Amino acid sequence: MSETAGPMVRSEQVHKSFGRLEVLKGIDLEVAQGEVMCLIGPSGSGKSTFLRCINHLEKIDAGRLWVNGHLVGYRQKGDKLYELRDREVSAQRREIGMVFQRFNLFPHMTALENVMEAPVRVKRTPKARARERAGALLESVGLGDKVRTYPSALSGGQQQRVAIARALAMEPSLMLFDEPTSALDPELVGEVLDVMKRLALDGMTMIVVTHEIGFAREVGDSLVFMDGGVVVEKGVPRDVIADPKHERTRSFLSKVL
Protein backbone atom coordinates (compact mmCIF):
# COMPACT_ATOMS: atom_id res chain seq x y z
CA MET A 1 0.00 0.00 0.00
CA SER A 2 1.43 3.36 -0.97
CA GLU A 3 0.86 5.85 1.78
CA THR A 4 1.99 8.85 -0.24
CA ALA A 5 -0.87 8.96 -2.74
CA GLY A 6 -4.33 10.03 -1.57
CA PRO A 7 -6.98 7.44 -0.79
CA MET A 8 -8.63 5.63 -3.69
CA VAL A 9 -12.08 6.07 -2.21
CA ARG A 10 -13.14 8.64 0.36
CA SER A 11 -16.66 8.81 1.63
CA GLU A 12 -17.85 11.60 3.90
CA GLN A 13 -21.24 11.46 5.56
CA VAL A 14 -22.86 9.76 2.57
CA HIS A 15 -26.64 9.65 2.90
CA LYS A 16 -29.08 7.89 0.60
CA SER A 17 -32.83 7.39 0.82
CA PHE A 18 -35.32 5.56 -1.34
CA GLY A 19 -38.51 7.52 -0.85
CA ARG A 20 -39.01 7.65 2.88
CA LEU A 21 -36.64 4.76 3.61
CA GLU A 22 -33.21 6.06 4.64
CA VAL A 23 -30.78 3.35 3.59
CA LEU A 24 -27.43 5.06 4.18
CA LYS A 25 -27.26 7.29 7.24
CA GLY A 26 -23.87 8.91 7.00
CA ILE A 27 -21.10 6.63 5.82
CA ASP A 28 -17.52 7.73 6.53
CA LEU A 29 -14.95 5.43 4.99
CA GLU A 30 -11.56 5.58 3.38
CA VAL A 31 -9.99 3.00 1.11
CA ALA A 32 -6.30 3.40 0.40
CA GLN A 33 -4.64 2.56 -2.91
CA GLY A 34 -4.15 -1.18 -3.12
CA GLU A 35 -6.32 -1.85 -0.10
CA VAL A 36 -8.79 -4.73 -0.07
CA MET A 37 -11.76 -3.73 2.03
CA CYS A 38 -14.36 -6.33 2.88
CA LEU A 39 -17.86 -5.17 3.70
CA ILE A 40 -20.17 -7.36 5.75
CA GLY A 41 -23.53 -6.82 7.35
CA PRO A 42 -27.05 -8.16 7.55
CA SER A 43 -29.41 -8.10 4.60
CA GLY A 44 -30.83 -4.65 3.94
CA SER A 45 -28.05 -2.84 5.78
CA GLY A 46 -27.19 -0.87 2.64
CA LYS A 47 -24.01 -2.61 1.45
CA SER A 48 -25.11 -2.89 -2.17
CA THR A 49 -26.48 0.61 -2.13
CA PHE A 50 -23.17 2.01 -0.90
CA LEU A 51 -21.28 0.11 -3.59
CA ARG A 52 -23.66 1.43 -6.25
CA CYS A 53 -23.19 4.98 -5.02
CA ILE A 54 -19.44 4.68 -5.56
CA ASN A 55 -19.88 4.34 -9.34
CA HIS A 56 -22.91 6.61 -9.40
CA LEU A 57 -25.45 3.95 -10.28
CA GLU A 58 -27.29 5.61 -7.39
CA LYS A 59 -27.25 9.34 -6.67
CA ILE A 60 -26.37 10.23 -3.11
CA ASP A 61 -28.60 12.70 -1.27
CA ALA A 62 -26.02 14.25 1.03
CA GLY A 63 -22.33 14.00 1.79
CA ARG A 64 -19.41 13.63 -0.56
CA LEU A 65 -17.77 10.73 -2.36
CA TRP A 66 -14.40 10.86 -4.05
CA VAL A 67 -12.77 8.20 -6.20
CA ASN A 68 -9.13 8.77 -7.01
CA GLY A 69 -9.48 12.38 -5.90
CA HIS A 70 -12.45 13.08 -8.21
CA LEU A 71 -15.85 13.93 -6.81
CA VAL A 72 -18.28 11.23 -7.96
CA GLY A 73 -21.07 12.52 -10.21
CA TYR A 74 -20.53 16.23 -9.59
CA ARG A 75 -18.19 19.10 -10.22
CA GLN A 76 -17.64 21.59 -7.44
CA LYS A 77 -17.14 25.29 -8.14
CA GLY A 78 -16.97 27.31 -4.95
CA ASP A 79 -19.90 26.24 -2.84
CA LYS A 80 -21.97 25.06 -5.77
CA LEU A 81 -22.25 21.53 -7.10
CA TYR A 82 -22.89 20.95 -10.79
CA GLU A 83 -24.19 17.62 -12.03
CA LEU A 84 -21.85 15.93 -14.48
CA ARG A 85 -23.08 15.16 -17.98
CA ASP A 86 -23.79 11.53 -18.90
CA ARG A 87 -20.57 11.45 -20.87
CA GLU A 88 -18.52 12.61 -17.89
CA VAL A 89 -20.19 10.13 -15.55
CA SER A 90 -19.38 7.36 -18.04
CA ALA A 91 -15.78 8.50 -18.10
CA GLN A 92 -15.62 8.23 -14.30
CA ARG A 93 -17.13 4.75 -14.38
CA ARG A 94 -14.41 3.50 -16.69
CA GLU A 95 -12.03 3.78 -13.75
CA ILE A 96 -14.25 1.52 -11.65
CA GLY A 97 -14.95 -2.13 -12.41
CA MET A 98 -18.02 -3.76 -10.92
CA VAL A 99 -18.90 -7.41 -10.46
CA PHE A 100 -22.48 -8.33 -9.67
CA GLN A 101 -24.04 -11.09 -7.62
CA ARG A 102 -25.97 -12.31 -10.65
CA PHE A 103 -23.07 -11.91 -13.12
CA ASN A 104 -25.10 -9.85 -15.64
CA LEU A 105 -23.12 -11.12 -18.61
CA PHE A 106 -24.52 -10.13 -22.00
CA PRO A 107 -26.28 -13.35 -23.05
CA HIS A 108 -26.19 -12.61 -26.79
CA MET A 109 -22.41 -12.38 -26.85
CA THR A 110 -19.76 -15.07 -26.44
CA ALA A 111 -17.38 -14.92 -23.48
CA LEU A 112 -14.79 -13.21 -25.69
CA GLU A 113 -17.29 -10.70 -27.06
CA ASN A 114 -18.45 -9.90 -23.54
CA VAL A 115 -14.91 -9.01 -22.56
CA MET A 116 -14.15 -7.13 -25.80
CA GLU A 117 -17.32 -5.05 -25.90
CA ALA A 118 -16.40 -2.17 -23.59
CA PRO A 119 -12.79 -1.70 -24.76
CA VAL A 120 -13.94 -1.60 -28.39
CA ARG A 121 -17.02 0.60 -27.93
CA VAL A 122 -15.93 2.80 -25.04
CA LYS A 123 -12.16 3.04 -25.33
CA ARG A 124 -12.12 2.63 -29.12
CA THR A 125 -9.42 -0.01 -28.85
CA PRO A 126 -8.79 -1.57 -32.28
CA LYS A 127 -10.68 -4.86 -32.54
CA ALA A 128 -7.63 -7.03 -33.09
CA ARG A 129 -5.89 -5.61 -30.01
CA ALA A 130 -9.04 -5.90 -27.91
CA ARG A 131 -9.55 -9.50 -28.99
CA GLU A 132 -6.00 -10.40 -28.12
CA ARG A 133 -6.25 -8.77 -24.71
CA ALA A 134 -9.65 -10.31 -24.01
CA GLY A 135 -8.24 -13.72 -24.88
CA ALA A 136 -5.34 -13.18 -22.48
CA LEU A 137 -7.70 -12.05 -19.72
CA LEU A 138 -9.93 -15.08 -20.15
CA GLU A 139 -6.81 -17.23 -20.09
CA SER A 140 -5.75 -15.60 -16.83
CA VAL A 141 -9.07 -16.45 -15.16
CA GLY A 142 -8.71 -20.03 -16.39
CA LEU A 143 -11.18 -19.86 -19.26
CA GLY A 144 -8.85 -19.94 -22.25
CA ASP A 145 -10.91 -22.78 -23.72
CA LYS A 146 -14.30 -21.08 -23.29
CA VAL A 147 -13.63 -18.09 -25.53
CA ARG A 148 -16.40 -18.88 -28.02
CA THR A 149 -18.95 -20.10 -25.49
CA TYR A 150 -22.16 -18.23 -24.78
CA PRO A 151 -22.89 -17.46 -21.10
CA SER A 152 -25.89 -19.81 -21.04
CA ALA A 153 -23.51 -22.71 -21.62
CA LEU A 154 -21.18 -21.75 -18.75
CA SER A 155 -21.42 -22.73 -15.10
CA GLY A 156 -22.07 -20.01 -12.53
CA GLY A 157 -18.44 -19.96 -11.46
CA GLN A 158 -17.26 -19.68 -15.05
CA GLN A 159 -19.76 -16.90 -15.75
CA GLN A 160 -18.56 -14.94 -12.75
CA ARG A 161 -14.94 -15.32 -13.88
CA VAL A 162 -15.91 -14.00 -17.31
CA ALA A 163 -17.62 -11.09 -15.56
CA ILE A 164 -14.42 -10.34 -13.65
CA ALA A 165 -12.41 -10.48 -16.88
CA ARG A 166 -14.95 -8.16 -18.51
CA ALA A 167 -14.53 -5.60 -15.74
CA LEU A 168 -10.73 -5.89 -15.85
CA ALA A 169 -10.68 -5.30 -19.60
CA MET A 170 -11.33 -1.61 -18.95
CA GLU A 171 -8.17 -1.52 -16.80
CA PRO A 172 -9.93 -0.03 -13.80
CA SER A 173 -8.05 1.26 -10.80
CA LEU A 174 -10.80 0.15 -8.42
CA MET A 175 -12.90 -3.02 -8.39
CA LEU A 176 -16.24 -3.34 -6.64
CA PHE A 177 -17.60 -6.80 -5.88
CA ASP A 178 -21.20 -7.19 -4.73
CA GLU A 179 -21.53 -10.65 -3.18
CA PRO A 180 -19.73 -12.24 -6.14
CA THR A 181 -20.10 -15.77 -4.81
CA SER A 182 -23.56 -15.68 -3.23
CA ALA A 183 -25.34 -17.05 -6.30
CA LEU A 184 -22.90 -19.92 -6.72
CA ASP A 185 -23.08 -23.57 -5.74
CA PRO A 186 -20.67 -24.18 -2.84
CA GLU A 187 -18.19 -26.15 -4.91
CA LEU A 188 -17.86 -23.25 -7.39
CA VAL A 189 -17.13 -20.55 -4.81
CA GLY A 190 -13.45 -21.42 -4.53
CA GLU A 191 -12.57 -20.84 -8.20
CA VAL A 192 -13.98 -17.31 -8.09
CA LEU A 193 -12.34 -16.46 -4.77
CA ASP A 194 -9.02 -17.70 -6.16
CA VAL A 195 -9.24 -15.25 -9.06
CA MET A 196 -10.08 -12.45 -6.64
CA LYS A 197 -7.22 -13.39 -4.36
CA ARG A 198 -4.75 -13.21 -7.24
CA LEU A 199 -6.15 -9.84 -8.20
CA ALA A 200 -5.61 -8.61 -4.64
CA LEU A 201 -2.03 -9.88 -4.66
CA ASP A 202 -1.45 -7.95 -7.89
CA GLY A 203 -2.22 -4.80 -5.94
CA MET A 204 -5.76 -4.03 -7.15
CA THR A 205 -7.81 -1.80 -4.88
CA MET A 206 -10.97 -3.73 -4.06
CA ILE A 207 -14.17 -3.28 -2.10
CA VAL A 208 -15.80 -6.65 -1.58
CA VAL A 209 -19.26 -7.18 -0.14
CA THR A 210 -19.16 -10.78 0.97
CA HIS A 211 -20.29 -13.36 3.46
CA GLU A 212 -17.09 -15.34 2.98
CA ILE A 213 -15.48 -14.57 6.33
CA GLY A 214 -12.54 -16.82 5.47
CA PHE A 215 -11.78 -14.72 2.40
CA ALA A 216 -12.09 -11.52 4.43
CA ARG A 217 -9.64 -12.80 7.04
CA GLU A 218 -7.11 -14.12 4.55
CA VAL A 219 -7.20 -11.49 1.80
CA GLY A 220 -8.78 -8.41 3.33
CA ASP A 221 -6.71 -5.49 4.64
CA SER A 222 -9.71 -4.14 6.46
CA LEU A 223 -13.12 -5.37 7.46
CA VAL A 224 -16.15 -3.13 7.80
CA PHE A 225 -19.34 -4.17 9.51
CA MET A 226 -22.41 -2.21 8.42
CA ASP A 227 -25.83 -2.35 10.00
CA GLY A 228 -28.88 -0.15 9.55
CA GLY A 229 -27.13 2.19 7.15
CA VAL A 230 -24.15 3.04 9.37
CA VAL A 231 -20.65 1.69 9.80
CA VAL A 232 -20.69 -0.07 13.13
CA GLU A 233 -17.14 -1.29 13.24
CA LYS A 234 -14.02 -1.17 11.13
CA GLY A 235 -10.68 -2.79 11.70
CA VAL A 236 -8.10 -5.40 10.71
CA PRO A 237 -10.15 -8.46 9.70
CA ARG A 238 -8.39 -10.84 12.11
CA ASP A 239 -9.08 -8.56 15.08
CA VAL A 240 -12.68 -7.78 14.18
CA ILE A 241 -13.46 -11.44 13.65
CA ALA A 242 -11.64 -12.67 16.74
CA ASP A 243 -12.67 -9.89 19.08
CA PRO A 244 -15.54 -7.72 17.83
CA LYS A 245 -15.96 -4.52 19.84
CA HIS A 246 -19.69 -4.16 19.31
CA GLU A 247 -22.48 -6.41 20.38
CA ARG A 248 -24.16 -6.17 16.95
CA THR A 249 -20.97 -7.26 15.19
CA ARG A 250 -20.59 -10.12 17.62
CA SER A 251 -24.11 -11.43 17.09
CA PHE A 252 -23.86 -11.08 13.29
CA LEU A 253 -20.51 -12.90 13.16
CA SER A 254 -21.81 -15.67 15.36
CA LYS A 255 -24.50 -16.28 12.76
CA VAL A 256 -22.30 -16.38 9.67
CA LEU A 257 -19.25 -18.13 11.07
Partner 1 sequence: MTEPDKTPDAGPARPAPIKAVPVRHPGRWISVAVLAVLAAMFVHMLLTNDKFGWAFMVDNMFRPPVIEGLLRGTILLTVLGMVIGVSLGVVVAVMRLSPNPVLSGTAWLYTWFFRAVPRIVLLVLFGNLGILYQSYGLGIPFDEQIADLFGVSFDGRFLEVEARSLLTPFIAALLGLALSESAYMAEIVRAGIQSVDPGQSEAAQALGMSRTQIMRRVVLPQAMRVIIPPTGNETIALLKDTALVAFVPLSVELFFQLEAVGKRTFQVFPMYVSACLWYLALTSVLMVGQYFLERRFGRGVAVSGRTRPRIFTAGSGR
Ligand X SMILES: Nc1ncnc2c1ncn2[C@@H]1O[C@H](COP(=O)(O)OP(=O)(O)OP(=O)(O)O)[C@@H](O)[C@H]1O
Residues that bind ligand X (CB under 6 A): 18, 21, 23, 41, 43-49
Q: Dihedral angle at the C-alpha atoms of 198, 209, 238, 196, nearest 10 degrees?
A: -10
Q: Which stretch binds partner 1 (CB under 8 A): 20-28, 69-77, 98-106, 125-133?
A: 98-106
24 binds partner 1 (CB under 8 A): no
Nearest to 125, CA basis, from 86, 169, 175: 169
Asked whether the beta carbons of 133 and 169 are under 8 A apart, the reply is yes
DSSP 8-state symbol, 249:
H
108 binds partner 1 (CB under 8 A): yes
Q: Which residues contact 9 (CB under 8 A, 6 or more apart)?
A: 29, 30, 31, 54, 65, 66, 67, 174, 205, 207
- Comparing CB distances to ligand X, the nearer of 4 and 43 is 43
DSSP 8-state symbol, 187:
H
Binders of partner 1 among residues 168 to 187 (CB under 8 A) are 170
- Comparing CB distances to Mg ion, the nearer of 125 and 210 is 210
Tell me which of 41, 46, 97, 135 binds partner 1, using CB under 8 A.
97
Footprint on this chain of partner 1 (rule: CB under 8 A): 55, 57, 86-87, 90-91, 93-94, 96-98, 100, 102, 104-110, 117-118, 121-122, 150-153, 163, 166-167, 170
